[in-house]
Amino acid sequence: MKVDLSTSWMGIPLPHPIVPGASPMSLDLDAARRLEDAGAPLLIMHSLFEEQVVGEELATRVAYDLHAESYAEATSYLPDPDLFSLGPDEYLEQLGKLKRALNIPIIASLNGVTQGGWLDYAMLLEQAGADGIELNVYDVVMNPDRDGRSVEREVIELVQALTIRTDVPIAVKLSPFYSSLPWFARQLAQAGAAGLVLFNRFFEPEIDPENLELQRHLAPSSHGELALRLRWTGILRDRVPCGLAITGGVRNGRDLVKSIMAGADTVQVVSVLLGQGPDRITSMLMEMAEWMEEQEYPSLRVMRGCMSIERCPKPAAYSRANYVKMITGWDAGLFRS
Ligand SMILES: Cc1cc2nc3c(=O)[nH]c(=O)nc-3n(C[C@H](O)[C@H](O)[C@H](O)COP(=O)(O)O)c2cc1C
């Protein structure tokens, strides 16, 4: 490839920006080797969940959060421990095996929302060879007594606690649902986050109306999920002093180009690799590189952020002005199928 696709993530130099995101692919050494063979420059492990490490502590918190009448009721909201494929010790073991089997950096993933002893696992992950830690703070706040500021403060304190416990870089995988994402993102960077990963996918339960049940289903992401990530990456790029990664809805080389133009340093992909196999890394890279050559972009560095809010030609399209224009300019023809 004639174009320079090099980038970096969490201070680690990478030959290109396509990173396999957290997923079961890291559970299987052969699958992980195939990713490396296909050109993955770094691997993010599936998560070690807070619930795995401190079920009891969490139960107390859930009981408090939900004002539950009984412990039994509260714990019924917890995931079934049998759901986790690896316990904490096996997770460390798997990290060690990945480190020995692969030559690329391995990022461990901690997934949880409260401060507590489970965070000590960060030290163990570092000792087991993790090159960085991705903290996933997927939370569904259901308690009307918790205000937004306290939810944000807890995450900031989690990041501070992690940076105190380890010397490896920390990235934070976020949801988009914060009232002032730019403020929050900057606080996280100031607390020590080397990178922010935008965004968690929220797997919403479906209602089965006949059986009166909530149903879970995990579908691959769709292309439509990317627009939200592009917008916020474009807004945060020049306003937050840390790296940015996009995860969610990236399916082809053109999506990669858009992500980099918005300002992403790396792009994490999962659905497309699970569905089409590891070689999709190579073909997506080729698609992006060919497009860049045609358009005469010599490097990723030159292209990165060229469509951020600070640098794009019509920044109002990122803001409320866009919404007003869209609503007032509505045309019935657009909605006829
Ligand atoms: C089967 C599956 C397992 C996943 N496991 C994790 C996980 O353990 N930790 C995590 O942070 N994200 C996990 N994710 C989310 C992915 O890392 C990624 O952010 C999301 O799927 C969006 O990327 P995509 O559109 O390329 O699929 C998982 C996704 C899938 C589909």
* pLDDT range class, residue 77, cuts 50, 70, 90: very low
Please give, one letter per residue, the 3-state secondary structure of the chain.
CCCECCEEECCEEECCCEEECCCHHHHCHHHHHHHHHCCCCCEEEEEEEHHHHCHHHHHHHHHHHHCCCCHHHHHCCCCCHHHCCCCHHHHHHHHHHHHHHCCCCEEEEEECCCCCHHHHHHHHHHHCCCCEEEEECCCCCCCCCCCHHHHHHHHHHHHHHHHHHCCCCEEEEECCCCCCHHHHHHHHHHCCCCEEEECCCCCCCEEECCCCEEECCCCCCCHHHHHHHHHHHHHHCCCCCCEEEEECCCCCHHHHHHHHHHCCCEEEECHHHHHHCCCHHHHHHHHHHHHHHHHCCCEHHHHCCCCCCCCCCCHHHHCHHHHHHHHHCCCHHHHCC
Give the pTM: 0.90
- Any atom of ligand 1 within 6 Å of the Cβ of 270: yes
Q: How far apart are the C-alpha atoms of 21 and 19, rounded to whole Å?
A: 6
- Any atom of ligand 1 within 6 Å of the Cβ of 249: yes
- Any atom of ligand 1 within 6 Å of the Cβ of 275: no
Distance 54 CA to ligand 1 centre (A): 22
Q: pLDDT at residue 11 above 50?
A: yes
What are the backbone angles phi and psi of residue 204, rounded to the nearest 5°? Answer: -80, 140
All structural domains of the chain: 7-335 (3.20.20.70)
Q: Which residue, by CA, sits nearest to atom 29 of ligand 1?
A: 23
Half-sphere exposure in the Cβ direction for 249 (13 Å, CA): 18
Q: Read off the amino acid at residue 90.
A: E
- Any atom of ligand 1 within 6 Å of the Cβ of 236: no
Query: What pLDDT is stored for residue 334 in this prediction?
Result: 73
Distance 20 CA to ligand 1 centre (A): 9
Query: What pLDDT is stored for residue 185 in this prediction?
Result: 98
- Any atom of ligand 1 within 6 Å of the Cβ of 136: yes
Query: What pLDDT is stored for residue 67 in this prediction?
Result: 42
Q: Among 201, 259, 281, name the best residue to mutate to test ligand 1's pocket (greatest count of ligand atoms within 8 A of Cβ).
A: 201
Q: How far apart are the C-alpha atoms of 175 and 178, rounded to whole Å?
A: 8
Q: Which residue, by CA, sits nearest to atom 30 of ligand 1?
A: 23
Higher pLDDT: 336 or 179? It is 179
The fraction of the chain above a pLDDT of 90, given in percent, is 69
Q: pLDDT at residue 283 above 60?
A: yes
Query: What pLDDT is stored for residue 101 in this prediction?
Result: 97
- Any atom of ligand 1 within 6 Å of the Cβ of 248: yes
Higher pLDDT: 77 or 114? It is 114
Query: What pLDDT is stored for residue 84 in this prediction?
Result: 60
pLDDT digits (tens, 9 = 90+) for 136-185: 998 888 899 999 999 999 999 999 999 998 999 999 999 999 999 999 99
pLDDT digits (tens, 9 = 90+) for 212-224: 999 988 888 888 9
